[in-house]
A = this chain, B = another copy of it.
Amino acid sequence: MTLKSLACAISTSLLAGCITTAGTDTHNADLIISNGQVLTINSDMEVIKDGVVVVENDKIIAVGGEELLTQYSAEMIIDANDGIVMPGMVNAHNHLPMIAFRGLGEEGISNRLFAYFFPLEAEKLSRELIYNATKLGSIELAQSGVTTYADMYYHMDEMAKATKEVGLRAVLGETVIKFPVVDAKEPYGGIEYAKGFIEEYQNDQLITPAYAPHAVYTVSKDKLQEINKLSAKYDVPVLIHVAEFPNEEKRIKDETKATSPVEYMSEIGVLDERVVLAHAIHLSENDIKLVKEADAGISYNPMANAKGATGIAPAWEMYRAGMRIGIGTDGPMSSNQVDIMRTLSYAANMQRLKHSDRTIMIPEQVIEMATLGGAKALHMEDSVGSLEVGKKADIVIVETQSANMLPSYDPYATLVYQANPSNIDTTIVNGEIVMLNREMQTVKLDEIRESVDAFEADIAEFAKELAKKAIKSKSLMD
């Protein structure tokens, strides 16, 4: 029994039905979603009331009105029950396995990265933890309507395995950094680790392997250039933290006279169309121009940046300039979540505050940024980010019947300001149903609960002692 027919057979909710309409004049597809308000996110930002989406194998083969129901039949039909049907959201920047640590170090620690994050990772990270934490995180992503995420972390083969078991799409960047880390005893060992990972996953349907040099101040010029060459050779993305903190260039003043990390990257030839910049908060006008010319992507992480007091990125400027900008949560120790939905209102509201203008970043623009924008940031807009014929079937259905969703005059406003992850009803990735009527169809939370309890207990005691030390530590980031 395939996943789809299983889901079909066990469904008892109002929202899913199973019919076989093997009409002679109809094309027999795999899955039809009907009776939804379809947000296509196509170039006209078309919204189809009583819309229909038809899926065959891993692709969308038709998007339109109810007339499609006479042209297509399918083994499985999902009635969206007047809900919102939209492209799966893209979380453009994450460190998903840090979900194992979320909620720790919230006591008010100024030098949190060096005095808390890094020592915690040095002590507690392992292959096993990365695998288990990725499973937990991937379940939460699926439950909150994220179908693609980009990540910078370690042991990316473990992340790939767990992500595929849950059934999500991901761009997974193996971290390269000048310190010894969990999966590389030598500095910059990530370059070697990445080689094996990239070769294993280069043609995977769901996983795009990538390099993730941590930042310009933690990776040398030579290594940045070596990674750039390798990324061209393998044709894989390069994910990097840029301009998260003010004056990052001061930390590399021996290497360059550049006045910003973006200028430095451009100068040494590593800012190109394979790069995705995370954060990009402290950018000059010239930096923005350089990023645009390079056709690099940007992950705007407004909630994490507010929580960490690092500032507000010039996201409105970059969006208006037609740049490749998506929305990210950052890791679960930064925004404490993987859920892009809570970040949606921040994406708008931080720009409005920054510009003292309530008329900018309207909900429609936010949803575009969270879907197609994220796809563009990851240079994946040919395959995901909108509901259009020929694209991968990465689709989310959002119910609009709960109290918090009423009334629902404007689907974009409903999504940005009213919805929370519990309103995500169904999540489909690459044509496969990952969650149906809030029931996970791939990996269930209860299957991993024991391993979550185990790592939580193991980490809790160590973390308490670490926090006491870290509070006293002077900040290196100021």
Contacts and interface: CB of A to CB of B under 8 A. Distances in A.
Interface of A: 99-100, 102-104, 106-110, 112, 136, 139-140, 143-144, 303, 306-312, 335-337, 339, 342, 345-346, 348-350, 352-353, 355-360, 362-363, 402-404, 406-410, 412-414, 417-418, 420-422, 445, 452, 455-456, 459-460, 463
Contacts of A102: 407, 409, 413, 417-418
Nearest to A358: B309
Contact of A349 (B140, B303, B413): B303
Contacts of A456: 406-409
29 contacts: A99-B406, A99-B407, A102-B407, A102-B413, A103-B410, A104-B409, A106-B410, A106-B413, A110-B359, A112-B358, A136-B403, A136-B406, A143-B403, A143-B404, A144-B404, A306-B352, A306-B353, A308-B352, A335-B417, A337-B404, A337-B417, A342-B345, A406-B452, A407-B452, A407-B456, A407-B459, A409-B463, A420-B422, A421-B422
Contacts of A103: 407-410, 413-414, 417-418
B414 A350 contact: no
Contact of A352 (B309, B360, B407): B309
A42 B350 CA distance: 34
A133 to B, nearest CB: 9
A420 B421 contact: yes
A216 to B, nearest CB: 22
A303 B345 contact: yes
Contact of A110 (B107, B108, B358): B358
Given A359-B110, A417-B336, A349 B407 contact: no
Q: How many chain copies?
A: 2
Given A104-B409, A345-B303, A345-B342, A357 B309 contact: yes
B403 A363 contact: no
Nearest to A460: B409
Contact of A104 (B104, B410, B460): B410
Contacts of A357: 110, 309
Given A362-B108, A407-B102, A421-B420, A353 B311 contact: yes
Given A303-B345, A417-B335, A445-B403, A109 B353 contact: no
A204 to B, nearest CB: 25
Given A309-B352, A310-B358, 10 more contacts: A103-B409, A104-B410, A106-B362, A106-B363, A306-B353, A307-B417, A337-B404, A406-B452, A407-B452, A420-B421
Question: What are the 5 closest A-B residue pairs judged by CB atoms, nearest first?
Answer: A422-B422, A336-B417, A108-B359, A306-B349, A309-B352
A404 B109 contact: no
Nearest to A357: B309
Contacts of A345: 303, 307, 342
Nearest to A456: B407
Contacts of A402: 445
A418 B352 contact: no
Contact of A308 (B108, B358, B452): B358
A345 B308 CA distance: 12
Identify the interface centre among A335, A412, A417, A452: most chain B CB within 10 Å of its CB: A417
B407 A100 contact: yes
A421 B421 CA distance: 10
A136 B408 CA distance: 13
A310 B352 CA distance: 9
A143 B110 CA distance: 35
Contact of A307 (B349, B356, B406, B409): B349
Contacts of A109: 358-359
Nearest to A356: B309
A143 B405 CA distance: 13
Contacts of A422: 420-422
B110 A342 contact: no
A305 B413 CA distance: 17
